[in-house]
Chains A and B, each alone.
Chain A
Amino acid sequence: MVQSVVPEIIKESVVNLIQKGERADGRALDQYREISLETGVIKKAEGSARVKIGKTQIVVGAKPQIGEPFPDTPNVGVLITNSELLPMAAPNFEAGPPNETSVELARVTDRCIREGEVIDLEKLVIIPGKKVWMIFLDLHIVDYDGNLMDAAALGSLAALMNTKIPSTTIEGDEVVIDYEKMVPIPIKEQPLMCTLAKIGGELVADPSLEEDDVLDARISIGLRVDGSVCAMQKGGSVPLTREEVLKAIKIAQEKTKELRKSIPKA
């Protein structure tokens, strides 16, 4: 992810431990850190969530706005995902326009939500070709302690499941928005992401900050409720074998079942 320079001796100890089937924080190789998820934490946002995986913390807000659809997709609503790696989240994060890590995080999260069909975008159309709901999903990363991808996908899903939009009716050629009557946005699917890091030839789930810094390769897998794959992203400059990729999917299918338990019932 956002790798910072790690002393060789720390790298060696992390790798040695993992090759023995252990981790520095005492977890099993496929074990997640503690996860906490709250929704509706920001009243000013129509949907929101605060997610923590270990000490990694993201505040996600969803804000709907009425706008015009993209010309090539006139009959679907718009979803825009944006992330800010705040300089408060880590000493090596800097203020300024989104860097490549931030853009990658936003795009992979977007892919998981879009291809995982979280929102039924066709139901966000108000007047076909003219007026649609645009959902702005903003990821505010306030504390970085490894594995942003899984936290981002989990927080985004929870925030969207928590999002309400005002109901609209069309009278003549006017759109009437009723803020008194808020309705949940149409949720179709609940995909989640599971990230595995390849360290010392082994695959470990939910990489910690230290592991994120020393990993050889990383694979993030987006999975729908039925275990089918909806998004993937490989990171890191070391290659993965065919067998490793297939094994990663198997592990992810098990792990997303666990992650799913932290989602509040809609």
Chain B
Amino acid sequence: MTASNTHAAALVAVMSAVTVLLRFLPFLIFRKGKTPAYIAYLGDVLPQAIIGMLVIYCLKDVSFAAAPYGLPELLSALAVVGLQVWRRNSLVSILSGTAIYMLLIRLF
């Protein structure tokens, strides 16, 4: 079910407001002085953990129990990792991985 125009506009407004709030919050809280060590530590380690979480989030609906057993996702993901290690160019990895995926879902 697609959202109605009014509801869609409200959804966009909420996503915008929350994103803006998150970006401004630290500047509002820590107006002066030093950032607490615990917050600085989280700022250091959280980005890596969150990206890991987002990878899982993207693959959450893949079914490994039924054909094609998540193979298109798995193979394309491996291609992205391989290309990234080899070329260190995110754009190349993303474009090639997506192209491989689009091809695989048509073959399987």
Q: Do A and B bind each other?
A: no
